[in-house]
């Protein structure tokens, strides 16, 4: 079992729709969770971080964390073509080391 | 504040050679982590340095090594290059290296081994 698993994708949504990205992790000791966006040929860019159970909203992005279910998700509301990218879920088990999922490629169609 | 910088941005080497990559963290950041990204394996953790000491290590062979200087700048070295080492090498820095903490990535060094 991989330490961090993401829905394999690719995921395609129409412009203006909600995109839902999911991630599960295996280590119950994981302390912090991140969503990064990576455009082709570029480095990962932080979108959201979440440390406590529940929802965290930032503009069109909402991260949800459920530690009991070992589940993290990212919702993108009013999806735009510029949101088309690969989204990486990262789990921080201890300081200085993050484990990444394989990523989900999202395409938003105009 | 300037972001994480990496040099060089692109490298072409041949099998058997060695290579050194450099990473300058965000000013004030003391933790530097290195990752390898390939299409087949995704983003994989190489190692992390904090206060000039290797604190975490991933599952890579000993050909991959690194160090950190007193100004927090870090270098990684790959000896006896193999074709499979072709990848995007990313470094990320964080402030104090304590969880929970956000890592910020540099632009990466793209290495091609021929």
pLDDT digits (tens, 9 = 90+) for A65-107: 999 999 999 999 999 999 999 999 999 877 778 899 999 999 9
Question: B50 CB near a chain A CB, below 8 Å?
Answer: yes
Mean pLDDT, to the nearest integer, of A21-28? 94
Average per-residue pLDDT for chain A: 93
- Torsion angle, CA of B78/B83/B84/B89, rounded to 10 degrees? 50
Secondary structure E strands in B1-114: 5-7, 10-13, 19-24, 31-38, 42-50, 53-57, 64-68, 74-78, 87-94, 104-105, 109-113
- State how far the Cα of A15 lies from the Cα of A26, in Å rounded to an integer: 33
pLDDT bin (cut points 50, 70, 90) of residue A29 is confident
Distance of CA B97 to the CA centre of its chain: 16
Record: contact B43-A100, CB cut-off 8 A:
yes
Give the contacts of A68 (CB within 8 A, at least 6 positions apart).
A53
Record: contact B33-A102, CB cut-off 8 A:
no
Range from A93-97, A106-110, B66-70 carrying the lowest mean pLDDT: A93-97
Nearest CB partner across the interface for A34, out of B98, B102, B108: B102
pLDDT bin (cut points 50, 70, 90) of residue A31 is confident
Record: contact A97-B33, CB cut-off 8 A:
yes
Nearest one of B113, B110, B107 to B93, comparing CA atoms: B107
Record: contact B99-A31, CB cut-off 8 A:
yes
- State how far the Cα of B73 lies from the Cα of B114, in Å rounded to an integer: 28
Secondary structure E strands in A27-84: 32-38, 45-50, 54-58, 61-66, 71-76
- Chain A residues contacting B, CB < 8 Å? 31-32, 34, 36, 42-46, 49, 51, 88, 90, 92-103
Nearest CA in chain A to B5: A43
Can you give the pLDDT at residue B99?
Answer: 64
The owner of tokens 């966006």 is A37
What percent of chain B shows pLDDT beyond 90?
82
**In Å, how far is B90's CA from the nearest CA of chain A?**
7
Nearest CB partner across the interface for A51, out of B100, B107, B108: B100
Residue B113 has pLDDT above 90, yes or no: yes
Mean pLDDT, to the nearest integer, of B33-38? 95
Mean pLDDT, to the nearest integer, of A50-71? 95
């Amino acid at each position: 079992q991989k330490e961090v698993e993401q829905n394999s994708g690719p995921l395609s949504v129409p412009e203006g729709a909600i995109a839902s990205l999911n991630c599960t992790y295996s280590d119950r000791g994981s302390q912090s969770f991140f969503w990064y966006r990576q455009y082709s040929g570029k480095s990962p860019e932080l979108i959201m971080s979440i440390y406590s159970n529940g929802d965290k909203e930032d503009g069109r992005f909402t991260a949800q964390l459920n530690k009991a279910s070992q589940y993290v998700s990212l919702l993108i509301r009013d999806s735009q073509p510029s949101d088309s990218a690969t989204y990486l879920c990262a789990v921080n088990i201890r300081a200085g080391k993050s484990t990444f999922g394989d990523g989900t490629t999202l395409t938003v169609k105009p | 504040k300037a972001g994480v910088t990496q040099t060089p941005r692109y490298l072409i080497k041949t099998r058997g050679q060695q290579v050194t990559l450099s990473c300058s963290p965000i000013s004030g950041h003391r933790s530097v982590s290195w990752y390898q990204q390939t299409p087949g394996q995704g983003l994989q953790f190489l190692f992390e340095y904090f206060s000039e000491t290797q604190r975490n290590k991933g599952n890579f062979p000993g050909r991959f090594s690194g160090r950190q200087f007193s100004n927090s700048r870090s270098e990684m070295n790959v000896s006896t290059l193999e074709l499979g080492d072709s990848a995007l090498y990313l470094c990320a820095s964080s402030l104090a290296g304590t969880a929970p903490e956000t890592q910020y990535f540099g632009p990466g060094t793209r290495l091609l081994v021929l």
